[in-house]
Chains A and B, each alone.
Chain A
Amino acid sequence: MTSETGFDVGKYDRFPTSEPRPEDELEQLEQAWCGPRTPGEWITATNNNIIGVYYVGAAMLFFVLAGVLALLMRTQLALPMTGFLAQETYNQIFTMHGTVMMFLFAVPAVEALGVLLLPQMLGARDLPFPRLGAYAFWAYLIGGLAFFCSLFFGLAPNGGWFMYPPLTGMTYSPGINADFWLLGIGFIEISAIAGAIEIIVGVLKTRAPGMTLDKLPVFAWAMLIFACMIIIAFPSIILATLLLELERALGWPFFDPLKGGDPMLWQHLFWFFGHPEVYIIFLPAAGAMATIIPAMSRTPLVGHAMVVMAMLATGFISFGVWAHHMFTTGMPQISINYFSAASMAVSLPAGVQVFAWIATIAAGRMRFTTPGLFAVGGLIIFVMGGLTGVMVAMVPFDWQAHDSYFIVAHLHYVLIGGMVFPMFAAIYYWLPMSSARPLSERWGKWIFWLMFVGHNVAFMPMHLTGLMGMPRRVYTYLPGRGWDLPNFISTIGAFMFGLAVLLWVIDMIRNFRPFGATVAGDIHGGPGLEWLPSGYYSVRSIPVVKSLYPLWEQKALAQDVVSGRYFLPGAAGGERQTLVTSPLNAEPQYVLRIPRPSAWHVFGAIFTAGFFLILTVQAYAAAVVSGVLAIYCIMRWCWFLDAPHQRKTTDIGAGVRMPNYVAGPSSHGWWAMMIVLIVGGMVGLLAGFSYIFLWSRRPDLWQAPPGLGSLLLQLGLLAGAGVCALAAPRVLRAARRWSASAATGLLVLAAIEAIAAMALDGRAWWMTGLRPDVSSQGASVYALLGWAGTFAAISGLMALYILLRRLFGHVTPERPSTVDLISLFLVFTAAQATGAVMLVRLFPGSGA
């Protein structure tokens, strides 16, 4: 195999080592990775074993809460014309049920599973940015709980989980209920993106040596695709919520047809996120299924390469089907036909996966213990949901079924079969990894059957009520339409499902014992690295992986790993360390020092959540204070990054030495920054799409841009910013006496140029008389420039940060990472601003 990094893979043959390990090595490792000792340390903890359990627990809490809301709705609908819930309360409850299930349960739950499982599965000590992972968790928990509590004050959103304008505009939703959704969800999505960065870099850069792409566990493949999809899809909902909030708060008419806006823009932006969201939820669950089914069948996954291809294909095509939610909106017929064809084509990769699971079950000897039952039950339900999915992909049928209970039935079959059942299978399968006791097998079977039967009793009749014409989201209905009996049956099924969840909660209380000295371990005979004996430090030594199923095929692996006969068997210098490897061949590149817990990321999360929540209640001064405190905490957290190392290299075992510090494209920080920039670029791209879309709706309302003379000045400034930012890392690496000061100066100059360019361009538009609240052109021009300007403002903060680091002597040629990353950000800022400025000036180029 061609080496990816120049590392001699022949060195793998030195492992497992045979010489005796130092006596105090394990003790030092345990000391370095010790768990929390005080109550405060349980909050500031960053270890994935702790944060992962918190994260899964919080996601399941939201699942239970949203489930209770579902039972309230089903009680209201059990009989016609009941008065159990008032109409407005019902509206808030169905909105919160959908929103909490989608945003606070489904995505965080699978992300949580990734945080908990991936390090062990990949043979890493922890994920590469543990504080970012902990920040994402606390931001999600605080924001999520505050969002949910809005229900108790009658302030919960009431416009449905996809919040279509004009219903959610100020005219029809004048209170702050919709603002809770817009700011709350926008913020929670930022937390999801932070988690996705952690997962992408973790999967690509912290795999055990030898774990090439063909040996990468299917679950890790699924998590990688899932996280990449978040990076592409979630910017769309961030932009959409931002635009609607701007319309509501400041009157910028993006969605108001009277001023050139168009509610269809919301639908495009929402569903460009919303449909991939379904696959974002499904793929990790499919990855779990493709892991659990082979383990329970005791045979390798049939068609492994095809399954990976199918997951990749699902990821790609999921971005080409968003408008199948909009078949009834009057789009051009040929566009509808394209989306219909693409929606049917999705069944191809989904079918590959389902047939691979069935073939694996057929090829092996399936054990129908609780995880096996949930896996097979999920498969059956998902296939049923998939079949109705093909039905609604056909446009004439969709016109009949749209917004009826048929759709409610379809989406619950897909989501419960494609995510909830696999999630329960995963909990039953992997819980012995984190708990001293497994869950009860006897209770598990009861829970499965209650849930399986309850699901079908609840949702099967909804196909009929839908076909009989019952629209979704109605809080009651008249008797005598044939809807009474199926609704009553649905309610019985919902309560059966609820009973199953209640029994599961009781069983968790009875048996779940995390954070103890021992764990139940590999009771299912699983083949992955996650079943190696482990502690807070994950694996005792990081193995060389030679198989997709290492524990089945590398017989002495567990013993050798526990004896410290592989990579990084100790904690050199008492540091927490993990091995960073190359993205394709997983060749060792350097040793990453994992930061120890501190409180700054927790405070950062509290103040970030505070900023968004206080903004919702329109206490602007307090929101600004909270925002400033959040920035301060995040800067303090970053201050300890890029710290000096006592040693330049570490012996990672068998005489192989690796550097402790790497900058540039090999470093994990570079990858994280690139992903952040992709997120920013996606928002910018979609803002550009919104601008062109709004122009195409009402070109007659558009006025001419400012003269081209000022454009040249702005472009010159932005080009200067880009050149200065590009030069800074090179100047620093020149390693002269003045290098650090010169590099700092160049970055500061670049930031000033970027800020000046954006301020001048904004002023030029203002001088033309265009105002953001007057027309869709004004709104979209200032939104686009505002987005680019926000990046320029962040560049200003970064300039301040690098200046402070220079003053404290932390900018040196030996540690160029900080300068590299700020330079990358500034180059991107200049490029994005250039694109934005040129788009609004040159397209359409003249007025009506």
Chain B
Amino acid sequence: MKRWLLLTGGLLIWAGHFLGVYLISSAADVWSTTGASGPRLLGAAFSFACLAAAMGVAAVVWRRTKTSVAEAEAWEGRVGLTGALVAAISIIWQAAPLAF
């Protein structure tokens, strides 16, 4: 399970981030307005947390990749690392609407 999580962890966080910001804005639409500063701040905080988590996954995978000698695990590390970095970029991109 740990190897699967390292392989797909960054991408899972990306998907979680997307669903999270969407749910926050939908909840804001019911309880106040989507333009209110509270939900926007919450969305930004959630995005920072997701970004930090994606970078954390990238760091863990990077450390494991450097020490791993097995070809298969090194390959999984490369996939997991690029996935986590792509996730980090995408989280920043998808949080951009919060600024407008």
Contact = CB atoms under 8 A, between A and B. Distances in A.
A320 B16 CA distance: 9
A554 interface: no
A305 B8 CA distance: 13
Contact of B26 (A306, A332, A342): A332
A337 B79 CA distance: 29
Contacts of A316: 8, 11-12, 14-15
A335 interface: yes
A188 to B, nearest CB: 27
A345 B34 CA distance: 23
B21 to A, nearest CB: 6
B76 A213 contact: yes
Contacts of A317: 14-15, 18, 90
B29 A332 contact: yes
B86 interface: yes
A334 interface: yes
A165 to B, nearest CB: 21
A696 B28 CA distance: 11
A349 B11 CA distance: 12
Contacts of B87: 313
A646 interface: no
B86 A696 contact: no
A76 B84 CA distance: 51
B70 A338 contact: no
Interface string A637-676: 0000000000000000000000000000000000000000
Interface string A299-321: 00000011011001100110110
Contacts of B35: 333-334
Contact of B15 (A213, A319, A344): A319
Contacts of B15: 316-317, 319-320
Given A213-B75, A319-B15, A335-B26, A341 B86 contact: no
B79 A305 contact: yes
A214 interface: yes
Contact of A212 (B4, B18, B72, B94): B72
B86 A348 contact: yes
A1 B83 contact: no
A503 B22 CA distance: 49
Contacts of A212: 71-72, 75
Contacts of B19: 319-320
Nearest to A586: B72
A696 to B, nearest CB: 5
A345 B11 CA distance: 13
Given A317-B90, A584-B3, A338 B73 contact: no
Contacts of A309: 79, 82-83, 86
A214 B76 contact: yes
B96 interface: yes
A335 B34 contact: yes
Interface in B1-31: 3-4, 7-8, 11-12, 14-15, 18-19, 21-22, 25-26, 28-30
Nearest to B98: A334
Contacts of A319: 15, 19
- Residue among A215, A306, A316, A341 facing the most chain B CB atoms (10 A cut-off): A316
A320 B79 contact: no
A305 B14 contact: no
B76 A342 contact: no
A359 B5 CA distance: 30
Nearest to B75: A214
Nearest to B39: A334
Nearest to A695: B30
A585 interface: yes
B79 to A, nearest CB: 5
Contact of A342 (B3, B4, B30, B94): B94
Contacts of B3: 584
B22 A308 contact: no
A322 to B, nearest CB: 10
Interface in A332-381: 332-335, 337-342, 344-345, 348-349
A345 B93 contact: yes
A2 B40 CA distance: 46
A345 B90 contact: yes
A332 B87 CA distance: 25
B99 to A, nearest CB: 10
B34 to A, nearest CB: 4
B34 A342 contact: no
B11 A334 contact: no
A814 to B, nearest CB: 29
A305 B82 contact: yes
Contact of A348 (B40, B78, B90): B90
B18 A2 contact: no
Nearest to A304: B75
Contact of B8 (A312, A339, A696): A312
Contact of A308 (B4, B21, B79, B86): B79
A146 B7 CA distance: 43
Contacts of A696: 26, 30
A317 B22 CA distance: 13
B70 A1 contact: yes
Nearest to A697: B30
Contacts of B94: 338, 341-342, 345
A320 B18 contact: yes
A1 B93 CA distance: 37
14 contacts: A212-B75, A309-B79, A312-B79, A313-B86, A313-B87, A317-B18, A320-B18, A338-B18, A339-B22, A345-B90, A348-B89, A348-B90, A584-B72, A696-B30
Given A1-B70, A2-B70, A342-B94, 19 more contacts: A1-B72, A213-B7, A213-B72, A214-B76, A305-B75, A313-B87, A316-B8, A320-B18, A332-B26, A334-B35, A338-B21, A338-B97, A341-B93, A341-B96, A341-B97, A344-B93, A348-B86, A584-B4, A584-B72
User: Sorted from nearest, which 5 A-B pairs have the closest CB atoms?
Assistant: A337-B97, A1-B70, A214-B75, A212-B72, A320-B18
Interface of A: 1-2, 212-215, 305-306, 308-309, 312-313, 316-317, 319-320, 332-335, 337-342, 344-345, 348-349, 584-585, 696
